Amino acid sequence: MISAGDFRKGMTFEKDGNPFVIIEFQHVKPGKGAAFVRTKYKSLLNGTIREEAFNPSEKFPKAHIETKQMQYLYSDGDLYYFMDNETFDQIPLQHELVEDAIKYVKENDNATLKFYKGKCFIVEAPNFVELAIVECEPGIKGDTASNVTKKATVETGATINVPLFVNEGDVVKIDTRTGDYLSRV
């Protein structure tokens, strides 16, 4: 059990049977009245964010989140199959769980899967990936104003903005958290 007075950023707890992660917290000691903890927390299952004040002595069960590195194998229609690298067990996941990460993960690449009570609730791509450009318009000579970009499609199907000097066939490094181009490889 965790008391609200021990809340820290990134800590997970259960409330009403649902797991939450603390985004922000602030211990408040007003001149009159009892101290309290002002908290902003996010649901791990559906992403909703709530703000609430707790009594510092309130207790909550700790939410145990299991994190595994798993290999993306293939997709079969609306199901995406991942394999546990240790046990070689395969699990199918619905498109809704993987849609943000799958834009940056190729077959046989690893991804991070997070589980709560044995059920996967999120799939995360590695922070940085290197992907080949499969389609982009050629840069126009003389169009060199600062920060000019063009749309490009990478081998996984994601569309990103790249500088004019990037061409089809180039391999680029991408920050998957923001979807930003970082450099050519």
- The CATH number for 120's domain is 2.40.50.140
Q: What is the spatial distance between Cα 97 and Cα 79, in angstroms, rounded to a whole number?
A: 10
- Asked if 77 and 37 sit in the same domain, the reply is no
- Asked if 120 and 69 sit in the same domain, the reply is yes
Dihedral of CA 154/180/91/48: which sign?
Answer: negative
Boundary of a domain, candidates 124, 154, 175: 124
**Residue 142: is its pLDDT beyond 70?**
no
Show Cβ contacts of residue 68 under 8 Å, excluding neighbours closer than 6 positions: 84, 112, 113, 114, 115
Residue 37 binned pLDDT confidence (cut-offs 50, 70, 90) = very high
Residues 99-112 have pLDDT tens digits of 888 999 999 999 99
- Asked if 95 and 145 sit in the same domain, the reply is no
Which domain does 78 fall in, by range? 65-124
- For residue 40, give the CATH number of its domain: 2.30.30.30
- Asked if 117 and 140 sit in the same domain, the reply is no
Boundary of a domain, candidates 60, 84, 110: 60
Dihedral of CA 94/43/174/158: which sign?
Answer: positive
Query: Which residue type sits at 76?
Result: D
**What is the structure's pLDDT at 154?**
92
Q: What is the pTM of this model?
A: 0.76
- Asked if 56 and 69 sit in the same domain, the reply is no
27-33: Cβ within 8 A, 24+ apart: 27/56, 28/53
Residues 5-23 have pLDDT tens digits of 889 888 899 998 889 989 9
Dmax (CA) for the chain in angstroms is 69
- Asked if 103 and 118 sit in the same domain, the reply is yes
Residues 23-35 have pLDDT tens digits of 999 998 988 888 9
- Asked if 135 and 117 sit in the same domain, the reply is no
In the chain, the number of structural domains is 3
- Asked if 113 and 148 sit in the same domain, the reply is no
Residue 71 binned pLDDT confidence (cut-offs 50, 70, 90) = very high
Return mean pLDDT, the chain.
89
Residue 6's alpha-carbon distances to 26, 43, 63, 114, in angstroms, are 11, 19, 14, 24
Q: What is the spatial distance between Cα 132 and Cα 80, in angstroms, rounded to a whole number?
A: 22
Mean pLDDT of 130-156: 81
**What is the structure's pLDDT at 52?**
93
- Asked if 35 and 48 sit in the same domain, the reply is yes
Mean pLDDT of 33-45: 90
Dihedral of CA 79/82/83/86: which sign?
Answer: negative
- Asked if 30 and 72 sit in the same domain, the reply is no
Boundary of a domain, candidates 12, 38, 60: 60
Q: What is the spatial distance between Cα 76 and Cα 71, in angstroms, rounded to a whole number?
A: 15
Quote the percentage of the chain above a pLDDT of 90: 44
Residue 141 binned pLDDT confidence (cut-offs 50, 70, 90) = low
